Structure 1
Amino acid sequence: MNIALLLQMAAEAEPHRIGLVCDGRRWSYGALLSAAHGAAAHVVETGATHLALLDESSEAAAIALFGAAFAGVPYVPLNYRLADVDLRALLQRVAPAYVVGDVARVARIASDQGHVTLGRGEFVAAAEARGEDAPKEPREGEGIAAQIFTSGTTAAPKAALLRHANLLSYILGTVEFASASPNEAALVCVPPYHIAGIAALMSSIYAMRRIVLLPAFDPDAWLELAASERVTNAFVVPTMLARIIARIDAGHRPDLSALQAIAYGGGRMPLELIERALELFPHTGFTNAYGLTETSSTIALLGPEDHRAALASGDPAVRARLGSVGKPLPTVEIQIRDENGRVLPPGERGEIYVRGEQVSGEYRERKALDADGWFPTRDAGWLDADGYLFLAGRADDVIVRGGENISPGEIEDVLLGHPAIADAAAVAVPSLEWGEAVGVAIVPRTPQAPPSEDELRTLIRKRLRSSRVPERILVVEALPYNEMGKLLRREVKKLF
């Protein structure tokens, strides 16, 4: 099977129904399918081994994703925010590619690699022009739908491979075909090189929910587009939601009465922020989605009912679920293991392992699945007695103080409960006595009046224990996050 099936089914069911909106222009499902056929024909003629996208989200992303599927080559969305030297290295790894987007940049940094390049408008026009007479059935290839480069921190990025079978397993296991009514619309504003962007396109097309694309996030533009298009569904990352709520609280309140559901993920959601969101949108269902590139997107969900139940509960265990990522999807299995591979019982922290058909765990360089098909996520966390999954940062982020493993998340949770702290991060800092010690960076709500170091150390000692007390404390204006709302701990460490 091929992910092209998703678009084929939508176009055959209702070819004239609007499937995508971007910058004021609208495409029906039939028009999207025809353009994907045309794009595939052009790619095949060039002999390119990959179809790469070097651009913001637009109609070109959807046409390229499905065009690559019909052409039988991997779709490779590239991070246009990378430095030239890093981007050149990635382009070399997929050469010769059919590259859509920033033609001038490719010419400047990779003119010797044999790529075929087209700008966004040129690509879309060429695809539409070829659609009528192009072959209509997908070509066989390696079976790879997408190749996504993971963000490298200490080494070159790995090329994660998502096969058609992985992506289809996720979509078919979580989305009902044509389940959206004609008035439903999903606002998508995540980078196309992130798995969330790919999953949003596929799931909305299969549900036949109109996709409303916002190429670059701006809170005012997001609010106005959501209102004008009567958006019913949206996906945001925590930093986006924070900026949207700040504008609403400042008095910018367009009509969002159509908004039925907001999904979020990609980074840590501050408890105070989601509580405020639930207050502002009392009739909107919130869903926390946790997943990874290598798992074809979501593997655990905290649904709308869980959100409301946790917010209203006086039971600390139930209330705590608002900080979880919910329960695993029915189609996947999750285990928590210690450093020796032993499966841990509920309540004990370790590394999260996942298994299921949607889990690729495959890189161009190697396979990461164990003999039984389990994938080590490198995320740390634990399951509670009722099966709710809680994250505790990356396994690599654990602070090892005198042989004791300390999760940054538990320290950050205590600090974020302080009324004078807007944001906080805990990282390992070098220590002559302990090897590593705890360092914390805080963002005070009032820059002129941060809480004292003694106050913070006393708070952590009382709530946790003495080994968690920070050896170093920094006060900063803001913490570094990427565009998906993930804290860049390596950058926090540099502050020390």
Structure 2
Amino acid sequence: MNIATILDMAAEAFGDRVAVACGDSRYTYAELREAAYRAAAAIKASNAQYVALLDVTSPAAPIAIFAAAFAGVPYVPLNYRLTKPELNELIERVAPAYLITTPEYAKLLEPREGVQIVDREAFLSLPATDAPLPEIGDDPRAVAVQLFTSGTTGKPKAAILRHENLMSYIVGTVEFASAEEDDGIIVTVPPYHIAGISAVLSSTYACRRMVQLEGFEAKAWLAACREHKVSNAFLVPTMIQRIVEHLTEISEDANLPALRALAYGGGKMPLSTIQKAMSLLPHVDFTNAYGLTETSSTIAVLGPDDHRAAALSNDPAIRRRLGSVGKPGAVELEIRDDNGKVLGAEEAGLVFVRGPQVSGEYLQQGSQLDADGWFPTKDRGYLDAEGYLFLDGRSDDVIVRGGENISPGEIEDVLLSHPAVADAAVVAMPDEQWGEGVAAAIVLKPGASADVAELQELVKGKLRSSRVPQKIIFKDALPYNELGKILRRLIRQDFI
């Protein structure tokens, strides 16, 4: 099946139901499909091989996702938080492309042959066309989505998700037309994140109204939930932390009677935060959803009953499950040691998953699945005796700050550009608010000097604020192994 089938099904079943609400804009499912039809015709006429989106959350995102599927080309949402050089490097890799953006972000783009830049407002108001309606492709192996994801080297990899992967995830986790007419999900995750794509596909399949916010701010999020009578939400842990802080600060009840279900994921959830959130919203069903780009979103879930059982239990083995990511869903999951041996309960190792929704594939690098179809998630963790998965962190060096992957290498390069710095290593450090924070160990050149604030300002000036090390220590030397590889695990111990 092609993911465009999802929109066709929703439009046929509930064409008059509101699909998207963003500010004053409203699209029914019939109107969303018509907009996707018009966009698909424009995309095919452009001869583009990709549909790229450089934008915050707006109706352009769901229209572009389905229009790309109707037109038979991959959808490529771009991270609008990237720097100008980073963005242009990615755009070069997807040319020829039909690129939807706004004047604000268009200023960052260098003229490039084969890239047709389309203003978002023009995209949303494309005229009707006499072109025949698009025929949905029937190749389940065709590429539906291409997402750029940073690895340990810092150079983004292009993760490939095929129609069969995404459809397997949706059909395996969502019941068609399961939403009531008044149900609505508030969408705050950015379009370039797999959770943003999953929100569009799963909400459309459930025929649920999507309430879009361009960005996240706790007070505005609460107001939007009340105004739109939101029943469902997905947030990253940092967002929940902000909501908890806001409600605690104003000493006020959440007052969200319509909200029934709140899912979270994308980073480590501090135990104190989820406990406080559950006390502030006792009527809400909380779900921890663990997934990856390469697995088409969620692969394990800690459901509402698990949350309540863990919070109320006096049994330490059950109570600690509030810090787990739950049990695998429609995938197989196992823990292996570094030699590939499958481990038992309570034995920590590398997390591997297998199933139809698992792509595990990158453009150019190809499939990362082993001979038996297992994908190495590069996360470390263990299973308890009942099959609940506990994550210990990343097996590689990527820092996951508030759901955002940060490469230590790019920060190290900036630090090493300082004339006083001889060596630098950037690692993750525990952070109550963000899950993981950025820390750096610095070796200065003999006789040279530099202070913490100076180095932090250097990083801030060349990268984004999220890359600034919140803690910097100075050392006489950094630890290396016999092959010259930095021993980051030893450095991390300085920041525990």
Q: Which amino acid is 1:50 matched to? A: Y
Q: Distance in 2 between matches of 1:77 and 1:336?
A: 32
Q: Distance in 2 between matches of 1:489 and 1:311?
A: 35
How far residue 133 of structure 1 moved from its aligned partner, in angstroms, is 5.1
How far residue 138 of structure 1 moved from its aligned partner, in angstroms, is 2.0
Q: Which residue of 1 aligns with 2:437?
A: none
Q: Which residue of 2 aligns with 1:375?
A: 375
How far residue 444 of structure 1 moved from its aligned partner, in angstroms, is 9.6
Q: Distance in 2 between matches of 1:189 and 1:200?
A: 10
Q: Which residue of 1 aligns with 2:65?
A: 65
Q: Which residue of 2 aligns with 1:271?
A: 271
Q: Which residue of 2 aligns with 1:138?
A: 136
Task: Report Cα offsets for 1:360-410 as digits up to 9, x if no partner.
Answer: 001111211111100000000000010000000001259xxxxxxxxx99x
212 and 227 in structure 1: CA distance in 2 versus 1, 3 angstrom threshold: same
Contact 1:37–1:134 at 8 Å: present in 2 too? no
Tell me whether 1:170 sits opposite 2:166 in the alignment: no
Q: Which residue of 2 aligns with 1:15?
A: 15
Q: Which residue of 1 aligns with 2:202?
A: 203
How far residue 172 of structure 1 moved from its aligned partner, in angstroms, is 0.1
How far residue 102 of structure 1 moved from its aligned partner, in angstroms, is 3.3
Aligned pairs for 1:28-67 within 5 A? 28-67=28-67
How far residue 151 of structure 1 moved from its aligned partner, in angstroms, is 1.9
How far residue 247 of structure 1 moved from its aligned partner, in angstroms, is 1.4
Aligned pairs for 1:97-176 within 5 A? 97-103=97-103, 105-106=105-106, 108-126=108-126, 129-130=127-128, 134-139=132-137, 143-176=142-175
Contact 2:53–2:78 at 8 Å: present in 1 too? yes
Q: Which amino acid is 2:295 matched to? A: T
Task: Report Cα offsets for 1:318-374 as digits up to 9, x if no partner.
Answer: 000000000000x20001011111111110111100000000001111211111100
The TM-score, its normalising length taken from structure 1, stands at 0.80
How far residue 294 of structure 1 moved from its aligned partner, in angstroms, is 0.1
Aligned pairs for 1:477-496 within 5 A? 491=469
How far residue 215 of structure 1 moved from its aligned partner, in angstroms, is 1.1
Q: Which residue of 2 aligns with 1:296?
A: 296
391 and 227 in structure 1: CA distance in 2 versus 1, 3 angstrom threshold: same
Task: Report Cα offsets for 1:387-442 as digits up to 9, x if no partner.
Answer: 000000001259xxxxxxxxx99xxxxxxxxxxxxxxxxxxxxxxxxxxx999957
How far residue 295 of structure 1 moved from its aligned partner, in angstroms, is 0.1
Q: Distance in 1 between matches of 2:124 and 2:86?
A: 27
Q: Which residue of 2 aligns with 1:212?
A: 211
444 and 119 in structure 1: CA distance in 2 versus 1, 3 angstrom threshold: closer
Task: Report Cα offsets for 1:295-323 as digits up to 9, x if no partner.
Answer: 00000000000000000000000000000
How far residue 152 of structure 1 moved from its aligned partner, in angstroms, is 3.7
Find the residue that maps to 1:268 and give its secondary structure: coil
**Structure 1 unaligned regions, length at least 5:** 399-407, 410-436, 446-473, 479-487
Contact 2:253–2:280 at 8 Å: present in 1 too? no
Contact 1:227–1:254 at 8 Å: present in 2 too? no
Q: Distance in 2 between matches of 1:242 and 1:444?
A: 9
Contact 1:10–1:29 at 8 Å: present in 2 too? yes
14 and 356 in structure 1: CA distance in 2 versus 1, 3 angstrom threshold: same
How far residue 114 of structure 1 moved from its aligned partner, in angstroms, is 2.2
Tell me whether 1:90 sits opposite 2:113 in the alignment: no
Aligned length: 421
Q: Distance in 2 between matches of 1:384 and 1:48?
A: 49
How far residue 135 of structure 1 moved from its aligned partner, in angstroms, is 1.2
Q: Which amino acid is 1:138 matched to? A: I
Contact 1:38–1:134 at 8 Å: present in 2 too? no
Q: Distance in 2 between matches of 1:444 and 1:149?
A: 27
Q: Which residue of 2 aligns with 1:456?
A: none
Contact 2:71–2:134 at 8 Å: present in 1 too? no
Q: Distance in 2 between matches of 1:310 and 1:357?
A: 31
Q: Which amino acid is 1:143 matched to? A: A
Q: Distance in 2 between matches of 1:442 and 1:324?
A: 17
Contact 1:37–1:131 at 8 Å: present in 2 too? no
229 and 131 in structure 1: CA distance in 2 versus 1, 3 angstrom threshold: farther
Identity of aligned residues (%): 53
Q: Which residue of 2 aligns with 1:434?
A: none
Tell me whether 1:345 sits opposite 2:344 in the alignment: yes
How far residue 112 of structure 1 moved from its aligned partner, in angstroms, is 2.4
Q: Distance in 2 between matches of 1:384 and 1:489?
A: 35
Q: Which residue of 2 aligns with 1:238?
A: 237
368 and 493 in structure 1: CA distance in 2 versus 1, 3 angstrom threshold: farther
Find the residue that maps to 2:362 and give its secondary structure: coil
Tell me whether 1:384 sits opposite 2:400 in the alignment: no
**Structure 2 unaligned regions, length at least 5:** 401-424, 434-451, 457-465, 475-496
Aligned pairs for 1:257-336 within 5 A? 257-329=257-329, 331-336=330-335
Moved more, 17-26 or 346-355: 17-26
Q: Distance in 1 between matches of 2:115 and 2:326?
A: 44
Q: Distance in 1 between matches of 2:130 and 2:280?
A: 48
Contact 2:347–2:383 at 8 Å: present in 1 too? yes
Aligned pairs for 1:455-470 within 5 A? none
Contact 1:72–1:140 at 8 Å: present in 2 too? no
Find the residue that maps to 1:334 and give its secondary structure: strand
Contact 2:334–2:353 at 8 Å: present in 1 too? yes
Q: Distance in 1 between matches of 2:116 and 2:233?
A: 34
441 and 74 in structure 1: CA distance in 2 versus 1, 3 angstrom threshold: closer
494 and 96 in structure 1: CA distance in 2 versus 1, 3 angstrom threshold: farther
How far residue 156 of structure 1 moved from its aligned partner, in angstroms, is 1.2
Q: Which residue of 2 aligns with 1:429?
A: none
Contact 2:152–2:397 at 8 Å: present in 1 too? no
Q: Which amino acid is 1:135 matched to? A: L
Contact 2:54–2:105 at 8 Å: present in 1 too? no
Q: Which amino acid is 1:27 matched to? A: Y
Moved more, 274-283 or 251-260: 251-260
Q: Which amino acid is 1:193 matched to? A: Y
